[in-house]
Amino acid sequence: MKNAVVLWTGGKDSCLALHLALEHRFRIQALATFVPPGNPEFKAHPQSQMKAQAKRLGYPLHFLEIREPFRESYIEALGWIKSSLAADTVITGDIDRVAGFPNWIEECCVDLGLSVHKPLWGLPRLTVLRELLARGIQAKITHLNHPALPDSWLGRVIDENLLNEMVALCADTGTDLAGENGEYHTMVI
């Protein structure tokens, strides 16, 4: 059994990745969230809610500050995860490349000898969202970041009705159904 840390946003993808990692028999040591200097509150992912999620899940949550130069800072934080949390694997909710870029976390883990497990990687977006619903995971849309997405989605929990709206709109506008390019953000409630 591998010791793992889940890279946590509190959103739908990190939550689903956690569930799948547990099914794949990873031993979860903690949750970790990368934050900018000064640890400011994120509008889309409130830290108070992430702390409540971690408490309810029964895992410690670590906020790790990332600053410039970013690559070195990520490597340092991931090295801390490996040494301080006794992890040999980090788990992400990444589904695909973002804007065509390689997976940043994987690149930073290479020299650390830290494995990266991406249980959602390459799955069709609709499959990911249907799996979320099938598991009863309730994810509320907390931030919209694309002009094609209607304001009426903000604050709604993704359910079958909203998913149908999302499928239609994303097909028409070319936006990513899972929000993989930052079109929207969620928090699991």
Given a cut of 80, is residue 102 above it in pLDDT?
Answer: no
Of 8, 9, 78, 86, nearest to 43 by C-alpha is: 9
Domains with residue ranges and CATH for the chain: 3-117 (3.40.50.620), 125-188 (3.90.1490.10)
Confidence of residue 139 (pLDDT cuts 50, 70, 90): very high
pLDDT in tens, 143-167: 999 999 999 999 999 999 999 999 9
pLDDT in tens, 29-48: 999 999 998 767 777 889 99
For residue 2, give the amino acid letter: K
Q: Are 45 and 185 in contact (CB under 8 A)?
A: yes
Q: Are strands 115-117 and 89-91 parallel, antiparallel or unpaired?
A: parallel
Stated pTM of the model: 0.94
